[in-house]
Amino acid sequence: MSNDAAASPPPLDDLLASARVVVLPLATPFRGIDVREAVLFQGPEGWTEFSPFVEYGDDEASTWLAAAIDFGWMPQPAPLRNEVPVNATVPAVAAASVPELLARFDGCRTAKVKVAEPGQRLTDDIARVAAVREALGVEGRIRVDANGTWNVDEAERALHAFAEYDLEYAEQPCETVEELAELRRRVKYMGIPIAADESVRKAADPTAVARAGAADLLVIKAQPLGGVRRALAIVAEAGLPAVVSSALDTSVGLSMGLALAAALPALDYDCGLGTASLFTADVASPALAPRGGVLPVGRVAPDPSRLDELTASMDRQEWWRARIARCHALLGG
């Protein structure tokens, strides 16, 4: 959280007074879920979002609350650009479903493909990547994301298998910094950059992966890193190129990611902020979905009627309100 907001977080009652707990349905299961829960708050600076995944503990989730408070209660860095190019996101679907899924991402010429899904095989991943390459053509860019699932040998074998599809980079192929460094050394001759995601947002020291020479670029997310300014500071300290990605946010949360992407000194890669296209309903009307492969930078306010339609059940509202109270206490509130 920014220093000002951390020194004096808003009272818990202020947060809960405007809190709206929503449930967004997904068009295709993602990360093993078919709905996404989130809490929206309205602060002095505008609407903001708190949406750590339900399995995360309070210590980790409190960083997400810090980001929500910072975005809703503090002025943000001045944008350096008015729009941000974004990629399509392809969950671990069957290859035959790829064209229909990509059609949801208007004008996107880059695709991030989820691989190493539990219960699937490398042959499934190869078929999915091949289908994306066929759909995008030779000029499209493909990146794969294994969420740290492979060991070094498995990752090396998979990247060899993907080589003919001309990968832009491989995101978090292995879990640990040491494994990433070893894999990077092994595949350097192949010219496939290694990107770190979990090794940044889930690490006690998010710049350790850069110091270890274990990554060529960072994948950063505003909420898990505590907000836009803290994420910018991490990128500056790491000294590596960065891609801004979403955490399967609503359009309100995506606007926080766009504020981060807009404030980066350099933006060399399409960002993973087009994920509103994975939902069948969103809190904004229209949803903050790609048009011509880009998203506009700016705050998003939810549509009141959509908030009502997507409101969570009473028991889920109580669950989230209790979680907010615990995380708020951890922030010193």
SS3 218: strand
152 in helix, strand or coil? helix
Question: Is position 197 annotated in a ligand binding site?
Answer: yes
Burial classification of residue 209, based on how many CB atoms lie within 10 Å of its CB (0-12 exposed, 13-18 middle, 19 or more buried): buried
From residue 296, alpha-carbon distances to 82, 149, 260, 322 in Å are 6, 33, 13, 34
Tell how far CA 157 is from the center of its chain.
26
221 is annotated as an active-site residue:
yes
Alpha carbons 226 and 61: distance in angstroms, whole number: 10
For residues 303 and 34, the answer to whether their CB atoms sit within 8 Å is no
State yes or no: 145 annotated in a binding site. yes
Q: What angle do CA 87, 50, 66 make, to 5 degrees?
A: 105
Quote the CA–CA distance of 145 and 33 in Å, as a whole number. Answer: 17
Query: Catalytic: which of 112, 188, 202, 221?
Result: 221
**Is 112 one of the catalytic residues?**
no
Q: How many CB atoms lie within 10 A of CB 77?
A: 13
Cα distances from 34 to residues 20, 54, 186, in angstroms, run 20, 13, 37
Q: Kindly state the tokens that stand for 108.
A: 């996107």
Return binding residues. 145, 171, 197
Catalytic (active-site) positions: 114, 221
Return binding residues for Mg(2+). 145, 171, 197
